[in-house]
Structure 1
Amino acid sequence: MIPYLVALRAIVLREGLRFIHQRERFVAALVRPLVWLLVFAAGFRAALGLSIIPPYATYITYETYIVPGLCGMILLFNGMQSSLSLVYDRETGSMRLLLTAPLPRGWLLFCKLLGSTAISIVQVYTFLAIAALFGIEMNAWGYVAALPALVISGLMLGALGLALSSFIKQLENFAGVMNFVIFPMFFLSSALYPLWKMAESSPLLRDICAFNPFTHAVELIRFALYMQFNGMALLWVLLATVLFMACALWGYDPARGMVKRKG
Structure 2
Amino acid sequence: MVIHPYLTSLRAIVGREALRFLHQRERFVAALVRPLVWLVVFAAGFRAALGLSIIPPYQTYITYETYIVPGLCGMILLFNGMQGSLSLVYDREMGSMRLLLTAPLPRGWLLFAKLVGSTAISILQALVFLAIAAAFGVTTAPLGYLTVIPALAIAGLMLGALGLALSSFIKQLENFAGVMNFVIFPMFFLSSALYPLWKMAESSELLHDICAVNPFTHAVELIRFALYGQLNLPALGWTIFATCAFMAFALWGYDPARGLTRRKS
TM-score of the superposed pair, with normalisation by structure 1: 0.99
Aligned match for 1:59, one of 58, 61, 70: 61
Match of 2:217 in 1: 215
| Backbone CA RMSD of aligned residues | 0.7
Give the drift of 1:261: 1.7
1:6-36 CA-to-partner distances (Å, cap 9, x unmatched) read: 0000000000000000000000000000000
Give the drift of 1:262: 2.1
Give the drift of 1:259: 2.4
CA distance in 1, matches of 2:234, 2:203: 24
Alignment of 1:77-88 (within 5 A): 77-88=79-90
TM-score of the superposed pair, with normalisation by structure 2: 0.98
Aligned match for 2:136, one of 117, 134, 137: 134
On the 8 A contact 1:160/1:244 being kept in 2, the answer is yes
CA distance in 2, matches of 1:136, 1:262: 47
CA distance in 1, matches of 2:178, 2:169: 13
Match of 2:16 in 1: 14
Alignment of 1:2-151 (within 5 A): 2-151=4-153
On the 8 A contact 1:169/1:258 being kept in 2, the answer is no
Q: Which amino acid aligns with 1:220?
A: L
- The unaligned stretches of length 5 or more in structure 2 are none
Tell me how many residue pairs correspond in the alignment.
263
Q: Matched residue of 1:139: which SS?
A: coil
CA distance in 1, matches of 2:196, 2:145: 22
On the 8 A contact 1:167/1:258 being kept in 2, the answer is yes
CA distance in 2, matches of 1:170, 1:31: 27
- The unaligned stretches of length 5 or more in structure 1 are none
CA distance in 1, matches of 2:261, 2:206: 38
Give the drift of 1:257: 1.6
CA distance in 1, matches of 2:190, 2:42: 17
CA distance in 2, matches of 1:250, 1:258: 8
Q: Give aligned-pair identity as a percent.
A: 82
